[in-house]
Amino acid sequence: MGRALNRLSVPPLADLTRELAAVASGRVAPERVITGARLLSSYTERLLEDREVWFYRGRIAAVKPAGSARAALLDAPTYDAQGGILAPGLVDPHVHIESSMMTACAYAEAALLSGTTTVFCDSHEIANVCDLSGVEWMLGDARRAALNVFLTVPSTVPATSPAFETAGGDLTPEKIARVFDTWPEAAALGEKMDFVQVAQGDSRSHAILREALRRGKPVSGHVYGREFVAAYAASGITDTHEAIDGSIADDLLEAGMWLFLRGGPPTTPWHSLPEAIKTVTERGACAKRVCLCTDDRDADDLFLFGLDWVVREAVRAGLEPALAWSMGSLHAATRYALDSELGGLGHGRRADVVLLNDALEPQNTWYGGELVVEAGRVTPALDAALSARYTYPKAAFETVRLPAAYTLTPELPRVPCTANVIRTALPGITLFHERVELPVRASWAAHFDAEDLCFVSVLERHGRSGAVAHGLLKDFGLTSGAVASSVGHDAHNLIVAGREESDMRLAVETVRALRGGVVVVRDGQVLAQVALPIAGLLSEGRAPEVAAATAELKRAWRELGCTLPYMGFNLIPLSVIPELRITDQGLVTVPGMARLPLFEAAPGA
pLDDT tens-digit readout, 27-51: 999 999 999 999 999 999 999 999 9
In angstroms, the Cα distances linking 208 to 198, 293, 399, 494 are: 10, 24, 26, 28
Gyration radius from the chain CA atoms: 25
For residues 160, 163, 164, 169, the Cα torsion angle rounded to the nearest 10 degrees is: 50
- Looking at the chain, the whole-number percentage of residues with pLDDT higher than 90 is 91
The helix/strand/coil state of 543 is helix
Query: Over the stretch 452-473, which tens digit does the pLDDT of each residue have?
Result: 999 999 999 999 999 999 999 9
Quick check: 453 and 474 in contact, CB under 8 A?
yes
DSSP 395: G
Query: Over the stretch 496-537, which tens digit does the pLDDT of each residue have?
Result: 999 999 999 999 999 999 999 999 999 999 999 999 999 999
Asked, as a colleague might, if the bond just before 218 is cis with ω within 30 of 0, I would say no
* Residues facing 462 on adjacent strands: 401
Write down the pLDDT at residue 267: 73
Task: Quote the mean pLDDT of the chain.
Answer: 95
- Provide the CATH number for the domain formed by 87-391 in this structure: 3.20.20.140
Write down the pLDDT at residue 183: 97
Average pLDDT over every residue of 141-161: 95
Domain(s) of CATH 3.20.20.140: residues in the chain: 87-391
Task: Supply the pTM of this predicted model.
Answer: 0.94
Query: Over the stretch 88-117, which tens digit does the pLDDT of each residue have?
Result: 999 999 999 999 999 999 999 999 999 999
- Confidence bin at 1 (pLDDT 50/70/90): very low
Write down the pLDDT at residue 582: 98
